[in-house]
Amino acid sequence: MQQFDKLINYEVISPLIREGFERLPHALLFAGPSGVGKRDLAENLALALLCEAITTKNHACGQCAACRWMATGTHPDFRRITLDEAVSDESVTEASAGEAAVEKTADKTKKSKSRNIGIDQIRALEDFVFVGSHRSARRVILISEAELMTIAAANSLLKILEEPPASVYFILITNNQKNLLPTLRSRARVILFPHPDHPTATQWLSQAGLDDKAARYLARAGGAPMRVLQWKKNDQLAAIDALVDSLASSITDPLVLASRWEALLKSKNDKPFLMEDLVEGIQCWLFDLALAQATGEVHYHVGWPQPSHVKSPDPHLLLKAWRDINTFRRNARHPLNPLLFLESLAIHYLRALKPAA
Ligand SMILES: [Zn+2]
C-alpha cells in the first residue's frame, strides 16, 4: 500500500484528514472525471478509518489485523458496493425459476452484468449498518459508480443516510454526479476531484515508473494519471504505442491496416487491449488531426509521432469520420465478425485522410 499522502490528488481530501477522523462527515461523495485518483483515495481512506494502529499522520499502519483483512478483502466491517456484484433483473428471474442447483451454477456464467446498482444491494446493507460492528467501532461502505444506482436504490440509501449510526462512514464515488439524485448529493459532503495539473501529474507518473514517457501517456489519457497507471498495470502501453505507429504510418491498404490492428487485439495478457480501446484510440487520433488542421496543436498526442504523410486533410471529412467512428464505438463490444469490423473501421479511417479537393 502506498503512503496515503503520496497519492495523486491527495490535497483534495487532506483538509478532512489532517484533523483526524472525529469530524469527518459520515457521507462523502468523491466526484470528478475518471482516472484522477478518486478510487485510490477512497480505498485508502477506508483503510485508514478501519486501521487499529493508525499512525500520527493518519496513515493506515499496514500491519494490524484490520489492515491485513483489508488486504485480503475480508474485513467484516467493510462493504463494497459495485456494479460488478449487481446481477441484472433478467438473470435474477432466471435464477429463481427453480431449476436444479447444477443448472443454476452453469447459468451463473451466462448472467449478464447489470447496468445498475440495484435496491437489493443497498437493502443488504441495512443489517450491516444498524447492527453493531465486529471489530473497531467503525464501519465503512464504499459505493463505486454511485450514479448507476437505480432510483429505488438511491432512495433506499437516502433512508439509511437520514439517521446513520455515528460510527458508520459512506464513501460514494462518481464520474457523473449530475446523474445522482439531488437529495442524495445534498446528504453527502461533495468533494470535487479535478484533473491534477500537468507538471504534478507528470512528475507523479515518472515516479510511478513511467519515467520519461510519463508526459506523453498523460496527454494520450486526456490528463488522467490513474488511467495511465492502469494501462501500465494491464501491460497495455505497448499496444497503445503500436496503435499510434499504425495510424502515423503511411499504410493506405485497409486490409493491411486491419490486420495490424487485429494483431494488437490478440495479445495474451490478462487484461487484453480491447476493440473498444482501439476504437477510442482511433477517435483520439482523428480528433487531433482535426485540431491540428484548425489550430496547429494536438491534445492527445503531444510528444507522439505525427503523421507526416497526411497532407492537409479535409476538416469536414475528418469530422465526419470521427462521428462515423462513434457508431463503431457503440458496437465495439461484441462485433459479429471482428476482422470485418476492423476492415470497415480501417476504410472509414483512411477515407478521412484524403486531402481536401
Ligand atoms: Zn493497521
In the chain, which segments carry CATH 3.40.50.300?
4-82+117-192
Is residue 285 predicted with pLDDT exceeding 70?
yes
For residue 18, the CA-to-ligand 1 centroid distance in Å is 17
Which cell goes with 241?
Answer: 504505442
For residue 68, the CA-to-ligand 1 centroid distance in Å is 7
Task: Name the pLDDT band for 101 (thresholds 50, 70, 90).
Answer: very low
For residue 70, the CA-to-ligand 1 centroid distance in Å is 9
For residue 71, the CA-to-ligand 1 centroid distance in Å is 10
For residue 345, the CA-to-ligand 1 centroid distance in Å is 51
**CATH C-level class of 234-352:** mainly alpha
Closest of 267, 221, 261 to residue 243, by C-alpha:
261
pTM of the predicted model as reported, rounded to 2 decimal places: 0.83
Which cell goes with 195?
Answer: 484533473
In the 8-state DSSP scheme, what is residue 146?
A: G
Which cell goes with 59?
Answer: 496513515
Residue pair 148/83 in contact by the 8 Å Cβ criterion:
yes
Averaged over 209-238, what is the pLDDT? Answer: 95
For residue 36, the CA-to-ligand 1 centroid distance in Å is 25
- Burial bucket for residue 32 (CB in 10 Å: 0-12, 13-18, 19+): buried
Closest of 55, 274, 38 to residue 142, by C-alpha:
38
In angstroms, the first-to-last Cα distance of the chain is: 57
Residue pair 29/23 in contact by the 8 Å Cβ criterion:
no
For residue 55, the CA-to-ligand 1 centroid distance in Å is 9
For residue 300, the CA-to-ligand 1 centroid distance in Å is 40
3-class state of residue 54 by DSSP: coil
d(C-alpha 44, C-alpha 53), whole Å: 14
Closest of 70, 38, 40, 39 to residue 52, by C-alpha:
70
For residue 66, the CA-to-ligand 1 centroid distance in Å is 6
Output the average pLDDT for the chain. Answer: 87
**CATH C-level class of 4-82+117-192:** alpha beta
In the chain, which segments carry CATH 1.20.272?
234-352
Residues paired with residue 29 on neighbouring β-strands, in sequence order: 172, 190
Residues paired with residue 140 on neighbouring β-strands, in sequence order: 78, 169
Residue with the three cell numbers 489485523: 65
For residue 138, the CA-to-ligand 1 centroid distance in Å is 13
For residue 49, the CA-to-ligand 1 centroid distance in Å is 9
Cβ contacts of residue 308 below 8 Å, gap of 6+?
A: 248
What local confidence, expressed as pLDDT, does residue 200 receive?
A: 95
For residue 9, the CA-to-ligand 1 centroid distance in Å is 23
Within 10 angstroms of residue 231's Cβ, the number of other Cβ atoms is 21
Query: pLDDT tens-digit profile of 163-212?
Result: 888 889 999 999 999 999 999 999 999 999 999 999 999 999 999 999 99
What local confidence, expressed as pLDDT, does residue 336 receive?
A: 85
Residue pair 1/33 in contact by the 8 Å Cβ criterion:
no
Closest of 330, 309, 318 to residue 356, by C-alpha:
318
Query: pLDDT tens-digit profile of 27-63?
Result: 999 999 999 999 999 999 999 999 999 988 888 999 9
For residue 170, the CA-to-ligand 1 centroid distance in Å is 19
DSSP secondary structure, 84-126, as one string: GG-B-HHHHHHHTT---HHHHHHHHTTPPBPSSB-HHHHHTHH
For residue 60, the CA-to-ligand 1 centroid distance in Å is 5
d(C-alpha 38, C-alpha 84), whole Å: 18
For residue 179, the CA-to-ligand 1 centroid distance in Å is 35
Which cell goes with 240?
Answer: 497503445
Residue 294 identity: A
What local confidence, expressed as pLDDT, does residue 334 receive?
A: 82
What local confidence, expressed as pLDDT, does residue 311 receive?
A: 74
For residue 265, the CA-to-ligand 1 centroid distance in Å is 41
Query: pLDDT tens-digit profile of 109-149?
Result: 445 567 899 999 999 999 888 877 666 679 999 999 999 99
Residue with the three cell numbers 462513434: 326
For residue 2, the CA-to-ligand 1 centroid distance in Å is 13
Is residue 5 predicted with pLDDT exceeding 50?
yes
Residue with the three cell numbers 445534498: 186
For the sheet with 168-174, list strands across it.
Answer: 78-81, 139-143, 168-174, 27-31, 189-192
Closest of 125, 165, 142, 121 to residue 47, by C-alpha:
142
Which cell goes with 356?
Answer: 481536401
d(C-alpha 244, C-alpha 55), whole Å: 45
